[in-house]
Structure formats: structure tokens, C-alpha cells
């Protein structure tokens, strides 16, 4: 990579190493904020034509803010922890003077008058916002594609998706256009894209961070599942830095729903850490490289002194279907209202049909769908949605009982965190994720129970391990096999899930996995040049 704005290869390496190191280098004068911003802008302009990640740009304003940051530093003024660091923001959060479209054509002209609370925190810490990154329509798909800005491609292979809904954010960080970004996670929307793009991301505990930055359309009335903002970066160290800013005390002053739980930085010593792991939830068998990655991560943690044991997974079918039933329990009425007047994106059409279709019709369609070889889809159609408040409360009770069972399993196994697959496949081809919902079942567990979870890239798919999927009549299984074929070289991540409010242990585990992967040379090499 050639960064003309930076005069030496050493400084180029600094820019590519991550937000925390870049902040240190700016602070000690090794590089200026202006040089850092110019380098990121140059990279975006070189790569984004092939990827389409940064869909709203404020480059002129970013240059001005970087110059102002350099002036303040030269004058000896106080510097925040992100002073001069370029960042990007998912098009879910309000940035002053820019629209927050959430993938809706109808919101193109709705300009935010002020930064949202989390964006304020990042900018007050000294970060310089380069622009906003792409999302799916209404943030509700596992691919970032909409009628406003078009489709985001995976920089590792542009014929494949970067994921959703934070797909633009993960993609720009993977190709080196930004060292740090603000994403959001409702059903794996930080962790899925981070895994598919070979970067790292964290979904905090439910209600750790405010949602007041986000327009109400997608989630305003959702109280069963709690979406969470969170950082995406190239290094675990950068996630820790970002969370120290985002989760700093004082959120209750503007959002009384945020519990006053103190943020704790991750410990360096993992000798007392108790780790459980599994590589298959019984619902969707992960690709060979993903199973290998989990085994290697578990072994590396054991070698570094953690107490590691294989555990039984949560019931993959039960947890994933309960998540989906709660997701559409209200028949998506507010969401369908928000999209009225514009075309529903094809990625969302099956979800909308599932939400609106009467149960009797679904039961009639089920056998026919199964006969076409789509057994997984037929099972989804059979999942009954609540039709009364009592039935809705029954779903909430089911979730509470499942969480009690899960924590009892953790207690019996003496486990602090779980290491498991992030997503069951490497990056899928565009337009395929709707038929691969079961592959996302590893992500939705943390959303269903509100637990903190992160992903970290550890390896790549080997040429001799693309697929071992057996022949199947089911169309989804055949599609999964087609995704695996030709996947050699794509990044592979593992996921770490912790107990509520224990992001410190999740991040400590991720940091040790990351260090081992990098020391062994197996970690995907970043930034990637789009191909």
C-alpha cells in the first residue's frame, strides 16, 4: 500500500496498525492528524470504487478538523484519547449536517441537526469523522444493499457480501480506509460483518450503550431484543480504547434507561480465566476452516494458562427460532410503516412475508415448500408467531427459562466465557444470505440473551479445506456448499461470548486469541486490496 501523505514506510505502518497506536503516534508527534486523515482519504478514494463502503463523505470538513487538531496540539492544549484519529460512522447514527438514511430513500433529505450522544463522545475524545458507511434497508438484512446507495462488496472478494447491517463499516476498516468505526448489532450486525471481512468487533451487553443516536423506525418499539451500538476495528486494543470512550460514566444524564454499571478494562492475566468451547450447535455445521479456528483458539488459550474445557452448546434450533419469533412478534408493523411508499428490498421480502402471512396459510404452504427441497425454510414457516399478549409473554418466559438453563450449564462447567464459531460459513455470495439464516444462528444467541460478544479474525480458509458438506436434498445446504467452494483465502473468525456486563473478560479472551494468531502468522493480513 502506498500512502503518499505519509513520508516514510514506518509512518505508513503506524497508520495501518490501528487506532490506539495511531493516537499514540499523533500525541508524541511522530505523525500529524492532517497526515493521518489524508492517508485514510487517499485509501478510500483508491479502494471504495470497488467496494462502495463509505457512502456519505465529509472529507473537506475532516481536513479542516484535522488541521484544527494539529493547531490545538501545537498550542499545548488538552488532547483527548482519540485526538486526531480518523474514524467512520455507520449510517445508523446521527452525525450533524448529514442524513441518517438507515437505507431508506424517504430519509435522504432528513439532515441531523446535531451529533447523537455516542458520536458526540467520540468527537469530544478527539476523533475526526471521515464519513458514513453503508447499511441494508432498515438495518434488517445480513447484506448491506439498499436503493439509496447500492450494494457494498467484500474487499476480499467483491463477488461476495461484507455482511450486514454494519457491512460498510467492516469493509472500510478491512481495506484500510479507517482504523475505527461505530457499528450496531441487533442480530449479529457487528459480529457478522467483522467476521466476514477479517476484522474485529464487539457487541456490548444489552443496554450498556444508549440507542438515542439511532432513528426510531427499526427498533423504537422493540423491547424483547435490545440492539446495541459497538466498535469495529482491526485490533482488540482499539475496541478497548473505543469502549473506554463510549461507555464512560454519564450516559444516565441523557438516557435514564442505561444501568449505572461501571466499565472495566480487560485484565492482562488470564491464569484464572475459565473458557468453554464448542464448534457445532447442532443446527448448522460450520465449514471446516471455522471448526479448525475454534479448536486452534481453544488450544492457544490453554497454552497461555487459561482453564479450557469443551462444553455442550445451547440448543441451536430452539434459541435461533425463538430469536426469529421475537424479532417479528409485532408482525413488523412499525417497520412496514416506515418503508411504506418505497420498494421493499428483495433481501427483506421473505422476512416481511413471514411477518404478515396468517398462520393458517403458512401451515398450508409448509408441506409444499418442504417438497421443493427447502426443509429449513419450511421449518421457519412452521414457527408460530404470538397472536395475543399472553402468547407474547409466553415467548418472553421461554427466553427467561432458556437463559437460566444456559447459565446453569455455564456454572456446572465453571465457565466465564464461551469460544465458538462466529458464522457458519465464510463470506457468502451476494443475494444468498436470506436462504442461509441457520448459518447465523451462532450470532443470535448473544442477542437473544443480551450477552456481550465479540469476534476476532484468526485464520483463512485453506485450499484443501473449503468444504466437507455432505450431499443434501435441502436447497439451503446445497447453497452453503456452493458458498464454501472457491472460498480459499477468505478470512475466518471465532466468537467469544461472556456473562452479562463482563465485556472485560470477553475482550481479554479475544486479545489472547488475536496475539496467538498473529504470532503464528495465521491471522488474515490487513489491509486487504479489493479484488
144, 178, 189, 476: which is the annotated catalytic residue? 189
How far is C-alpha 239 from the chain's CA centre? Answer: 12
For 352-380, b where at least 16 C-beta lie within 10 A, e where not — what string? bebbeeeeeebeebbeebbeebbbbbbeb
Cα dist from 52 to 162, 167, 414, whole Å: 11, 10, 45
Residue 189 annotated in active site: yes
Radius of gyration over every alpha carbon of the chain, rounded to an integer in angstroms: 22
Q: Residues 355, 331: contact at Cβ < 8 Å?
A: yes
Nearest 5 degrees, angle CA 451-CA 453-CA 456?
Answer: 175
> Among 188, 196, 181, which Cα is nearest to 93's?
181
Instruction: Tell me, yes or no, if 90 is annotated catalytic.
Output: yes
CB 210 within 8 A of CB 256: no
Backbone angles phi, psi at 109, to 5 degrees: -100, 5
The active-site residue, picked from 12, 17, 21, 90, is: 90
Alpha carbons 225 and 303: distance in angstroms, whole number: 37
Other residues' Cβ atoms within 10 Å of the Cβ of residue 434: 17
User: Helix axis angle, 375-382 relative to 359-371, nearest 10°?
Assistant: 170
Nine-digit cell string for 38: 489524508
Tell me how far the alpha carbon of residue 274 is from its chain's centroid.
Answer: 25
136-173: buried (b, 16+ CB within 10 Å) or exposed (e) per residue? bbbbbbbbbbbebbebbbbbbbbebbbbbbbbbbbbbb
Using DSSP's 3-state secondary structure scheme, residue 87 falls into strand
Q: Is the peptide bond before 165 cis (omega within 30 degrees of 0)?
A: yes
Dist. CA 431–CA 483, nearest whole Å: 11
Nine-digit cell at 191?
A: 459480529
**Strand ranges in 422-484 using DSSP code E only, listed in sequence order:** 453-460
Q: Which of 165, 287, 476, 487 is catalytic?
A: 165
477 phi and psi, to 5 degrees? -65, -40
Q: Angle between the 389-413 and 316-327 helix axes, to the nearest 10 degrees?
A: 140
183 vs 171: CA distance, rounded Å: 12
Per the annotation, the verdict on 221 as an active-site residue is no
The three cell numbers locating residue 331: 408482525
Is-contact 488 528, C-beta < 8 A? Answer: no
- Give the β-pairing of 307-310 and 274-277: parallel
Q: Comparing C-alpha atoms, which of 433, 353, 349, 448 is closest to residue 167?
A: 433
C-alpha cell at 124: 469530544
Angle between helices 503-520 and 236-246 (to 10 degrees): 160
Residues with active-site annotation: 90, 165, 189
Amino acid at each position: 500500500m502506498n500512502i503518499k501523505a505519509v513520508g516514510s514506510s514506518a509512518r505508513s505502518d503506524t497508520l495501518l496498525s490501528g487506532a490506539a497506536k495511531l493516537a499514540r503516534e499523533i500525541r508524541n508527534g511522530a505523525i500529524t492528524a492532517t497526515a493521518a486523515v489524508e492517508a485514510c482519504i487517499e485509501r478510500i478514494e483508491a479502494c471504495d470504487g470497488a467496494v462502495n463502503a463509505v457512502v456519505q463523505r465529509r472529507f473537506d470538513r475532516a481536513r479542516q478538523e484535522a488541521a484544527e487538531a494539529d493547531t490545538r496540539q501545537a498550542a499545548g492544549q488538552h488532547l483527548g484519547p482519540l485526538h486526531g484519529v480518523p474514524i467512520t460512522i455507520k449510517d445508523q447514527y446521527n452525525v450533524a449536517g448529514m442524513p441518517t438514511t438507515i437505507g431508506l430513500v424517504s430519509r435522504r433529505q432528513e439532515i441531523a441537526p446535531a451529533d447523537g450522544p455516542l458520536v458526540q463522545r467520540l468527537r469530544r475524545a478527539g476523533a475526526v469523522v471521515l464519513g458514513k458507511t453503508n447499511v441494508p434497508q432498515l438495518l434488517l438484512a445480513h447484506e448491506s444493499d439498499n436503493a439509496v446507495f447500492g450494494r457494498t462488496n467484500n474487499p476480499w472478494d467483491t463477488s461476495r457480501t461484507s455482511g450486514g447491517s454494519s457491512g460498510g463499516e467492516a469493509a472500510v476498516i478491512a481495506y484500510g480506509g479507517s482504523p475505527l468505526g461505530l457499528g450496531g448489532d441487533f442480530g449479529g450486525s457487528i459480529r457478522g460483518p467483522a467476521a466476514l471481512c477479517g476484522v474485529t468487533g464487539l457487541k456490548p451487553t444489552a443496554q450498556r450503550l444508549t440507542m438515542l443516536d439511532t432513528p426510531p423506525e427499526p427498533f423504537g418499539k422493540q423491547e424483547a431484543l435490545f440492539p446495541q451500538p459497538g466498535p469495529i476495528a482491526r485490533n482488540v486494543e482499539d475496541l478497548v480504547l473505543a469502549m473506554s470512550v463510549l461507555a464512560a460514566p454519564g450516559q444516565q444524564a441523557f438516557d435514564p434507561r442505561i444501568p449505572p454499571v461501571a466499565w472495566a478494562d480487560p485484565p492482562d492475566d488470564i491464569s484464572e480465566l475459565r473458557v468453554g468451547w464448542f464448534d457445532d450447535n447442532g443446527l448448522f455445521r460450520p465449514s471446516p476452516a471455522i471448526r479448525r479456528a475454534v479448536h486452534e483458539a481453544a488450544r492457544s488459550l490453554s497454552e497461555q494458562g487459561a482453564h479450557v474445557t469443551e462444553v455442550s452448546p445451547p440448543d441451536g434450533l430452539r434459541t435461533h427460532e425463538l430469536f426469529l419469533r421475537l424479532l417479528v412478534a409485532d408482525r413488523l408493523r412499525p417497520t412496514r410503516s416506515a418503508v411504506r411508499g418505497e420498494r421493499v428490498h428483495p433481501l427483506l421480502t421473505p422476512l416481511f412475508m413471514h411477518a404478515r402471512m396468517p398462520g393458517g396459510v403458512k401451515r398450508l404452504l409448509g408441506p409444499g415448500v418442504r417438497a421443493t427441497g427447502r426443509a429449513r425454510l419450511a421449518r421457519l414457516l412452521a414457527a408460530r408467531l404470538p397472536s395475543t399478549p399472553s402468547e407474547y409473554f409466553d415467548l418472553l418466559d421461554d427466553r427467561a427459562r432458556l437463559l437460566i438453563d444456559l447459565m446453569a450449564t455455564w456454572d456446572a462447567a465453571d465457565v466465564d466465557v464461551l469460544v465458538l464459531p462466529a458464522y457458519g460459513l465464510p463470506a457468502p455470495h451476494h443475494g444468498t444470505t436470506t436462504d442461509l439464516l441457520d448459518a447465523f444462528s451462532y450470532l443470535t444467541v448473544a442477542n437473544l440473551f443480551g450477552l456481550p460478544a465479540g469476534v476476532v479474525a484468526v485464520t483463512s480458509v485453506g485450499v484443501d479445506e473449503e468444504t466437507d458438506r455432505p450431499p443434501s436434498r435441502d436447497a439451503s445446504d446445497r447453497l452453503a456448499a456452493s458458498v464454501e467452494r472457491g472460498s480459499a483465502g477468505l478470512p475466518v473468525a471465532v466468537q467469544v461470548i461472556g456473562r452479562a456486563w463482563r465485556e472485560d473478560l470477553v475482550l481479554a479472551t479475544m486479545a489472547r486469541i488475536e496475539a496467538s494468531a498473529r504470532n503464528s502468522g495465521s491471522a488474515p493480513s490487513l489491509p486487504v486490496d479489493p479484488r
